[in-house]
């Protein structure tokens, strides 16, 4: 499996654990005021990261692209900024709204980068050593 796919899967598991902890905290306390951050953590952090990992596992040549590496790092930074800031925002810390906005914009940029990787032609994304001999 490509290293990039493995990184996305590991990131997904970390966010799955965080999402479960948030859900347990809400269930134990009976206070569901952080349902939005909980949903973002699970859907954006866990599910989407795992889907990116699956894509790169199935397309190892694309996982080797520099653009794919940029995709991972912008996604990671966006998640690390968005999820805790959104959680704190829902707890009433309004000063973190710019951090939430910036994290969201990084995630959007990362998805656009992923789209560029995905729509890139297969032959353009293959390293020279993997291209068929002519």
CA gyration radius, the chain: 17
How many structural domains are present in the chain? 1
Indicate whether 131 belongs to any domain.
Answer: no
Residues 6+ apart with CB under 8 A from 105: 78
Indicate whether 125 belongs to any domain.
Answer: no
Indicate whether 45 belongs to any domain.
Answer: yes
**What's the pTM value of the predicted model, to 2 decimals?**
0.87
Contact of 15 with 7, CB cutoff 8 Å = no
Indicate whether 110 belongs to any domain.
Answer: yes
Indicate whether 134 belongs to any domain.
Answer: no
Nearest-5° Cα angle at 57, 12 to 15: 0
Measure the N-to-C terminal CA separation of the chain; round to a whole number of Å. 27
Per-residue confidence in pLDDT tens, the chain, 134 aa:
999 999 999 999 999 999 999 999 999 999 999 999 999 999 999 999 999 999 999 999 999 999 999 999 999 999 999 999 999 999 998 899 999 999 999 999 999 999 999 999 876 555 555 555 55
Indicate whether 130 belongs to any domain.
Answer: no
Give the span between the Cα atoms of 61 and 94, in whole angstroms: 43
Domain of residue 116, residue span? 3-120
Indicate whether 128 belongs to any domain.
Answer: no
Count the neighbouring beta carbons within 10 Å of the beta carbon of residue 99.
17
Indicate whether 129 belongs to any domain.
Answer: no
């Amino acid at each position: 499996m490509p290293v990039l796919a493995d990184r996305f899967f590991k990131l997904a598991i970390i966010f799955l654990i965080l999402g479960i902890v948030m859900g347990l905290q809400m269930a134990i306390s009976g206070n569901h005021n952080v349902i939005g951050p909980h949903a973002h953590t699970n859907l954006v952090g866990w599910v989407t990261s795992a889907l990116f990992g699956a894509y790169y596992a199935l397309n190892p040549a694309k996982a080797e692209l520099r653009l794919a590496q940029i995709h991972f790092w912008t996604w990671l930074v966006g998640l690390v900024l968005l999820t805790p800031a959104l959680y704190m925002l829902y707890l009433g810390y309004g000063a973190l709204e710019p951090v939430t906005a910036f994290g969201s914009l990084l995630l959007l940029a990362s998805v656009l980068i992923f789209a560029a990787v995905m729509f890139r032609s297969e032959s353009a994304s293959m390293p020279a050593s993997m291209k068929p001999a002519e």
